Amino acid sequence: MQVMKWSVIALAVAAGSTQMAMASSQSDSKGFIEDSDLTLKNRNYFFQRDFKNNAPGQNKREEWAHGFMAELTSGFTQGTVGVGVDAYGYLGIKLDSGDGRNNTGLLPIDGDGTAEDSYSEAGGAVKARISNSVLKYGEMRTEAPVFATSHSRLLPETATGFNVTSNEIENLSLEGGYFTAYNNRASTNSDDELLLNYGGGEVGDSIGFVGGSYSFSDDLSVTLYGSKFEETWNQYYLNTNYNLSLSEDQSLNFDLNVYRTSDTGDSLQGDISNTTFSFATVYSIGYHSILAAYQEVNGDTPFDYVGGDSIFLSNSMQYSDFNGANEKSYRAGYTYDWTGLGVPGLTTMATYVKGTGVDGTDADVLGGYAGLQGKGGKHSETNLDIKYVFQDGPAKDLSVRFRQAFHYANDAQGEGDIHEFRVIVDYPLSVL
37, β-bridge pairs: 73
The pLDDT profile of the chain, 432 residues, written as one tens digit per residue, is 443 344 444 444 344 434 444 447 888 888 899 989 999 999 999 999 999 876 556 789 999 999 999 999 999 999 999 999 999 999 999 999 987 889 999 999 998 889 999 999 999 999 999 999 999 999 999 999 999 999 999 999 999 999 999 999 999 999 999 999 999 999 989 999 999 999 999 999 999 999 999 999 999 999 999 999 999 999 999 999 999 999 999 999 999 999 999 999 999 999 999 999 999 999 999 999 999 999 999 999 999 999 999 999 999 999 999 999 999 999 999 999 999 999 999 999 999 999 999 999 999 999 999 999 999 999 999 999 999 999 999 999 999 999 999 999 999 999 999 999 999 999 998 887
The CB density around residue 266, as the number of other CB atoms within 10 Å, is 11
Count of positions (residues) in the chain: 432
38, β-bridge pairs: 72
Which of the 8 DSSP states describes residue 252?
E
Instruction: Specify the CATH number for the domain of residue 230.
Output: 2.40.160.10
Distances (CA, A) of 251 to 163, 351, 392: 36, 20, 30
Report if residue 420 sits inside a domain.
yes
Report if residue 415 sits inside a domain.
yes
Determine the residue type at 302.
P
Which residue range is the domain that position 352 belongs to?
8-430
Report if residue 3 sits inside a domain.
no
Report if residue 1 sits inside a domain.
no
Report if residue 112 sits inside a domain.
yes
Which of the 8 DSSP states describes residue 9?
H
Report if residue 410 sits inside a domain.
yes
The CB density around residue 286, as the number of other CB atoms within 10 Å, is 12
Report if residue 241 sits inside a domain.
yes
Report if residue 25 sits inside a domain.
yes
H/E segment holding residue 20? helix 8-21
Report the number of distinct structural domains present in the chain: 1
